[in-house]
Structure 1
Amino acid sequence: MKIHEKLIEVVGRLKARRVLDIGCGPGDLVAELFRQGLDVVGLEPTELAGVAEEKCGVGRIIRGSCYDAYDENRFGKFDVVIASEVIEHLYLPRKLVEFSAAALANNGHLVLSLPHYGSYWRNLFIALTNRWDYHHTPLLDGGHIKFFSKNTLSIILNEAGFDVILWDQVMSRRAPIFPMSLIAVARLKDAVYPAVSRSGEEPPGSTVRDLR
């Protein structure tokens, strides 16, 4: 399964109606979600915003960055924010998480995909095949500069008021026994549905089984 296919599956399980795709690139995911009937907006800071706009239509792509202050009056609120293979490129990854929190409606969800550098077996394979220099090359402009595990990603999500409710992964196409990408689904905690209710019951959308 490709990363975008997995993300589309997750968005469907979350029953989202309005979606923001941060770092949407050429707009492939935005276009597919729009075809499926969702109100979806893409955010892209590079010249690829023009490519995405041609593909997705005027007004559906915003030229901007998650480093900018979120303008709720302009953009409103979203049920789901997606950032696919973006956070590992950022000098300030907390900015993406904070921007997402500002963009989400009550009990909204942040869906992240990123390289699965927390996998022991994947890292062992990379080491045994002498490919660390390729994966950590400093020669690629705009390459990967942050390498997250579940633990370190959970830390910055929790700091911004998110609870991770689902971990998933996408397997490598070339070596399908190894995970390629990590998928994290995190719910924004708010005053309407706190993390645990006073009755001890779990709120809607707070557990993995609510998504399955």
Structure 2
Amino acid sequence: MADQSPSEYFEHIRAEIAPLLPDRAPRRILEIGSGAGGTLAWLKQRWPEAEAVACEGQAALRPVLEQRVDRAVIHNLEQPLPDDLGRFDLILALDVLEHLTDPQAVLTNLVALLEPGGAVIVSVPNVAHYKVVRDLLLRRRFDYTDAGIMDRTHLRFFTEHSALALMRGAGLNVVDGRVNGFGRRRTRLMDWLTLGCARHYLAEQYIMRGERGGAGRFRWRFR
């Protein structure tokens, strides 16, 4: 999860979730914190018949969203979701829950909208990344930045353990997961030198697919 400018952040297409997508085409897709709708537009190319619904807090994004999705809902994500959203086969909460005061309640409310057999894909940053740990141990610093793991708008912080607990607390079993941050040569070298023992300190972000009633056993995919 590289640092991005505000415009890049809202436009970013989350193509790295592709391995976690369902094999069967969903009938309805909901994304909360959708930004400018780039990911939903990408999914509409994959599944043209699916109805894509964006739920976004930034009112200024409505015009571009209305060009890219079937329904754009401008809504304060801290508040209960609108009653008329309906139910969904696929729900996305990508890089949004860490910005909320009660991510557990929001995710639980999303799961209530899930159709039987549906899936929720969630991504959260990993505060146990070695750069954060390094600055705490060696510099006694916990400095916020404009984007990335230490984004100054983050209200909640996650590690592997608490990310999985978030999913379980909402009634989801994690059936598949992907770890971002291994696309750089330096990171892969560090992973090799540490024989894989430092992987979760090299992880920038956890992406999880949760289902109700899933097996609950999986192995992380490291990029």
State whether TM-score is above 0.5: yes
Residue 36 (structure 1) aligns with = 46
In 2 relative to 1, CA 169–16 (structure 1 residues): closer, same or farther, beyond 3 Å?
Answer: farther
1:52 is aligned to 2:64 = yes
Residue 158 (structure 1) aligns with = 168
Residue 72 of structure 2 is aligned with which of 52, 57, 61?
A: 61
Equivalent residues of 1:25, 1:48 under 8 A apart: no
In 2 relative to 1, CA 15–126 (structure 1 residues): closer, same or farther, beyond 3 Å?
Answer: farther
Deviation, 1:27, is 1.1
d(CA) in 2 for partners of 1:41, 1:129? 45
1:181 is aligned to 2:191 = no
AA matched with 1:123: V
Q: Which runs of 5+ in 1 are unaligned?
A: 190-194, 196-201
Equivalent residues of 1:16, 1:79 under 8 A apart: yes
In 2 relative to 1, CA 29–48 (structure 1 residues): closer, same or farther, beyond 3 Å?
Answer: farther
Secondary structure in structure 2 of the residue aligned to 1:76: coil
Deviation, 1:80, is 1.3
Deviation, 1:176, is 5.6
Question: TM (normalized to structure 1)?
Answer: 0.73
In 2 relative to 1, CA 51–172 (structure 1 residues): closer, same or farther, beyond 3 Å?
Answer: farther
Superposition CA RMSD, Å: 3.4
Q: Which runs of 5+ in 2 are unaligned?
A: 2-11, 188-201
Residue 114 (structure 2) aligns with = 104
Deviation, 1:124, is 3.8
Equivalent residues of 1:3, 1:170 under 8 A apart: no
Instruction: State which drifts further: 102-111 or 63-72.
Output: 63-72
AA matched with 2:61: A
Alignment map for 1:134-153 (pairs within 5 Å): 134-135=144-145, 143-153=153-163
CA displacement, residues 109-164 of structure 1 (integer Å, 9 cap, x when unaligned): 11111212234x35345558967313599xx9971121111211222322221112
In 2 relative to 1, CA 142–30 (structure 1 residues): closer, same or farther, beyond 3 Å?
Answer: farther
Alignment map for 1:18-37 (pairs within 5 Å): 18-37=28-47
d(CA) in 1 for partners of 2:137, 2:131? 10
Deviation, 1:67, is 3.3
Residue 104 of structure 2 is aligned with which of 94, 103, 110?
A: 94
In 2 relative to 1, CA 23–117 (structure 1 residues): closer, same or farther, beyond 3 Å?
Answer: same
Residue 123 (structure 1) aligns with = 132
Equivalent residues of 2:179, 2:203 under 8 A apart: yes
Deviation, 1:75, is 2.2
In 2 relative to 1, CA 81–124 (structure 1 residues): closer, same or farther, beyond 3 Å?
Answer: same
d(CA) in 1 for partners of 2:160, 2:99? 17
Identity of aligned residues (%): 23
Question: TM (normalized to structure 2)?
Answer: 0.70
